[in-house]
Amino acid sequence: MAGGPPPSEVQIRVLPHSSSRRSGGVRNLVHPVDEDSPALRRNAVGGVKHFKKWWPWLIPVFVVANTVMFVITMYVNNCPKNSVSCIARFLGRFSFQPFKENPLLGPSSSTLQKMGALRVSKVVDKHQVWLLITCIWLHGGVFHLLANMLSLLVIGIRLEQEFGFVRIGLLYIIAGLGGSLMSALFIQSNISVGASGALFGLLGGMLSELITNWTIYANKVAAFITLLVIIVINLAVGILPHVDNFAHIGGFLSGFFLGFVFLIRPHFGWVNQRYASPGYRANSVQSKFKMYQCILWLMSLIILIVGFTVGVVMLLRGVDANDHCSWCHYLSCVPTSRWSCNSQPASCSIESGIGSQLNITCVNNGKSGLYNLSNPSDSQIQGLCSQLCN
């Protein structure tokens, strides 16, 4: 998400998975080999080595880390002290910013910036490159956090069970970085937080895993089309205003190419030969991976290295990608008669009145308000400005 009050992000729906290579439907995208086949013998730990199940612990740790970061962010936010009005004041310093300022029930934009939200000017002018990573652990509100964490649990646990914590952990982090990088290149006037780029990376990895391990799947076309439709629908929702679709696209593309690198598996013929039961005659297979798998692995690795290098260099040089692509802004928001795509940050002029009165006027829309405030803090003024401009 990006912009003014942190907007809601898209909840990702995932494709249900199937349990067997020979079963019908597309219930399992990531564990297609039928280990119960009489042709395959189990290894010492009770399963086919290259398709063993992993115990998922990293994804739950990620969920806990994101939740803890949100609680810390709300503690730092301290709405009663820094804002004129709050939602759910009974929560004390954990109460939420006014709905007009943040409709997701969360902190202020200034607090998110303190905690490490992505602000392009800080990356370019102060070289705070780490903001590309820290922003994926922050969320704009309760709704934002719940949508992303539920999606992460549904997608991530299944993938970690099949591929292990190292590969899925790296895919999640690098895809999140890719989403942040693309967002920073195209949306430079607003802050960005959220894990949706990393989540779309997991979806991209699922798609490339299906392609590169094509030989071990049954119902290939049905699985491919179903997963592709789910991805297209979720990306299409990103054209709504206040949703950072560039983070979604960047995360998806990063995850897609990372899937060819991290999620490659031996083809079915090699597995069938290696784990064939005594007395079962399997066709002789020389190579562990097929030629197309190796080509996709190499090409994806090159694309990732070149893409990330060029992207970081462009960002640090302050390049605005919109200057080189006049139509790309439509990928993140398509204006209609029902909504506008204007996402300029709130800007206000302030005039002192009689006594402790302040006259605050939003420069964006001309709305103004008169407030009685004695020694107002910058956070209070910024919060009132955000409410006027929204």
Which entry of 151, 248, 332, 386 is annotated as an active-site residue? 248
d(CA 244, CA 106): 18
Q: Residues 4, 389: contact at Cβ < 8 Å?
A: yes
d(CA 366, CA 385): 11
Which entry of 196, 254, 379, 386 is annotated as an active-site residue? 196
Q: For the CA atoms of 227, 311, 301, 151, what is the dihedral angle to 10 degrees? A: -30
Look up residue 150 and give its two tokens. Answer: 């539920």
Q: How far is CA 231 from CA 9, 86, 200, 234, 304, in A?
A: 15, 37, 8, 5, 21
CA atoms within 13 A on the CB side of 281: 0
Contacts of 181 (CB under 8 A, 6+ apart): 132, 250, 308, 311, 312, 315
Is 248 considered catalytic here? yes
d(CA 73, CA 64): 14
Q: Residues 193, 133: contact at Cβ < 8 Å?
A: no
Look up residue 334 and give its two tokens. Answer: 């398509």
Q: Residues 252, 201: contact at Cβ < 8 Å?
A: yes
d(CA 56, CA 206): 17
Is 329 considered catalytic here? no
Look up residue 123 and give its two tokens. Answer: 């990356």
d(CA 294, CA 300): 10
Q: Residues 3, 364: contact at Cβ < 8 Å?
A: no
| CA geometry: angle 338, 343, 347, nearest 5 deg | 125
Which residue's entry shows tokens 């009165």?
A: 357
Look up residue 147 and give its two tokens. Answer: 């949508």
Contacts of 113 (CB under 8 A, 6+ apart): 119, 191
Active-site residue list: 196, 248
